[in-house]
């Protein structure tokens, strides 16, 4: 029992300290905290395994996934490599791996009346417990729900961007694998699990990548696997959060008349939003919905090279939200940061009038000296010819816009803009 207590304390320490890496722990610990994998502790089950609630001291909870390895061929090298990658992941939109177990032992069992020696094998993943379970599909548009749905979409895209940036591919992105914590923050789970298994799974799309509506056509047709397969799945997830269509139905409807489908859904959302939003808030929310619909449509493009990356999608979502940026020939390169300051904090000359000039649509906002803005470098492939002080992305009056901050008198005149008042 002392060993179990020490192992539990180790797991608690990892759970409480986000800096600590996941550590391999023995099977008896996980049998103990799940009450020997009792049915009443089951919180979910899927093709790759069953998830159990594990109880720790002080009412702390973890999730223990027991992989169905006895039914399939397991690539242990792939498991080891994937765990090594997952151990380093730290992101608020990705479920954190806390511990894992690789267990093998030989046992005598009766088989057709005779004793034989069989090998008992276990592969376990212990992860943070996410209490609100899988994200629910959207259902009909409701204006009051839009801010939450929008936050969930942005969180999923941020998590996927992070995963892809680490060289991982999810391969099974769908609502069941996106969990919500007690603050309704989405966390992507189960990425890479399908790659733990050998050719039995990777040779057939239907065995590990869900229904046709989630599986990228290049994988179905040619077996091509890339992070753009995740982007195709993301398109279905976004459509399901925004519309009443489900998986395969989303796929079928968007193939009929793409633009008509988007417009129909946008009309439904606009009608719903008018009941809860007014004025500028209604305009912004409607544009957010339109942008998310267009992003989802691009994600489901049959040509994987035309699908945006998760990073580009996240950038678009945080640039709130000019349809101009949805031109596939003009990918954006801005990076969003929550770093609010003011021109005064930048020690710019207080006597100069300053202007925020959008690089997307020519939208101009005059700034007072103390106006709050969010500043981060903004790259641009075709830089203007005139002299500029800095190229930034700014947040003014609650609206995110990629902007240049310039001394406005001389510079504004040189590019044919009126100074304003």
Residues marked active site are found at 172
- Phi, psi (rounded to 5 degrees) for 295: -60, -45
Q: Which of the 8 DSSP states describes residue 296? A: H
Burial class, 271, CB count within 10 angstroms (exposed 0-12 / middle 13-18 / buried 19+)? exposed
Helix (H) / strand (E) containing 164: helix 146-165
Number of residues written out for the chain: 421
Of 365, 374, 414, 370, the residue nearest 394 (C-alpha): 374
d(CA 141, CA 158): 23
SS3 readout for 74-133 = ECHHHHHHHHHHHCCCCCCCECCEEEEEEEEEEEEEEECCEEEEEEEEEEEEEEECCCCC
Rounded to whole angstroms, the Cα distance separating 176 from 312 reads: 24
H helices then E strands: how many in the chain? 13, 15
Contact criterion met (CB below 8 Å) for 169 and 162:
no
For residue 21, how far is the Cα from the chain centroid? 22
State yes or no: 65 annotated in a binding site. yes
- Of the candidates 345, 308, 173, 123, which has an alpha carbon nearest to the alpha carbon of residue 228? 308
2 Cβ contact list (under 8 Å, min separation 6): none
Q: Which of 173, 257, 251 is nearest to 213 (CA)?
A: 251
Distances 41 to 32, 33, 55, 135, 207 between C-alpha atoms, Å: 12, 10, 10, 21, 26
| Listed residue (18, 8, 147, 33) closest to 87, CA to CA | 18
CA distances from 89 to 96, 170, 225, 332 (A): 7, 13, 22, 26
Q: For residue 125, what are the β-bridge partners? A: 65, 100
Nearest 5°: the CA angle 216, 220, 226 is: 50
Binding residues for ATP: 65
Binding residue ranges: 65
């Amino acid at each position: 029992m002392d060993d179990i207590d020490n192992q539990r304390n180790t797991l608690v320490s990892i759970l409480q300290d986000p800096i600590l890496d996941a550590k391999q722990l023995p099977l008896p610990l996980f049998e103990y905290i799940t009450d020997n994998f009792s049915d009443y502790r089951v919180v979910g089950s899927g093709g790759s395994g069953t998830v159990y609630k594990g109880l720790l001291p002080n009412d702390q909870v973890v999730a223990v996934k027991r992989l169905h390895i006895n039914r399939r061929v397991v690539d242990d090298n792939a498991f080891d490599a994937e765990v090594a990658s997952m151990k380093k992941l730290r992101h608020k939109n990705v479920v954190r791996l806390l511990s894992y177990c690789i267990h093998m032992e030989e046992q005598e069992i009766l088989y057709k009346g005779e004793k034989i020696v069989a090998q008992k094998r276990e592969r376990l993943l212990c992860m943070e417990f996410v209490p609100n379970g899988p994200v629910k599909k959207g259902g009909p548009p409701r204006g009051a729900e839009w801010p939450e749905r929008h936050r969930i979409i942005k969180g999923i895209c941020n998590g996927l961007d992070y995963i892809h940036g680490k060289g991982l591919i999810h391969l099974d992105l769908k609502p069941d694998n996106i969990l919500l914590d007690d603050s309704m923050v989405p966390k992507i789970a189960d990425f890479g699990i399908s790659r733990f298994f050998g050719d039995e799974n990777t040779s057939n799309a239907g065995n590990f990548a869900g229904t046709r509506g989630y599986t990228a056509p290049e994988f179905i047709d040619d077996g091509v696997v890339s992070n753009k397969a995740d982007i195709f799945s993301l398109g279905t997830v976004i459509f399901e959060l925004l519309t009443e269509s489900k998986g395969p139905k989303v796929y079928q409807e968007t193939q009929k008349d793409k633009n008509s489908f988007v417009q129909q859904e946008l009309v439904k959302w606009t009608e719903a939003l008018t009941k809860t939003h007014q004025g500028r808030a209604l305009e912004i929310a409607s544009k957010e919905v339109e942008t998310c619909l267009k992003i989802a449509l691009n994600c489901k493009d049959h040509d994987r090279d035309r699908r945006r990356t998760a990073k580009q999608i996240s950038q678009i979502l945080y640039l709130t939200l000019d349809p101009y940026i949805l031109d596939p020939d003009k990918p954006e390169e801005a990076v969003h940061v929550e770093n609010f300051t003011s021109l005064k904090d930048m020690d710019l000359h207080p006597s100069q009038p300053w202007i925020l000039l959008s690089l997307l649509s020519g939208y101009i906002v005059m700034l007072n000296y103390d106006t709050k803005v969010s500043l981060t470098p903004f790259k641009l492939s075709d830089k203007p010819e005139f002299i500029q002080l800095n190229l930034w992305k700014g947040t003014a009056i609650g609206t995110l816009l990629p902007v240049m901050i310039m001394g406005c008198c001389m510079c504004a005149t040189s590019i044919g803009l009126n100074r304003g008042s």
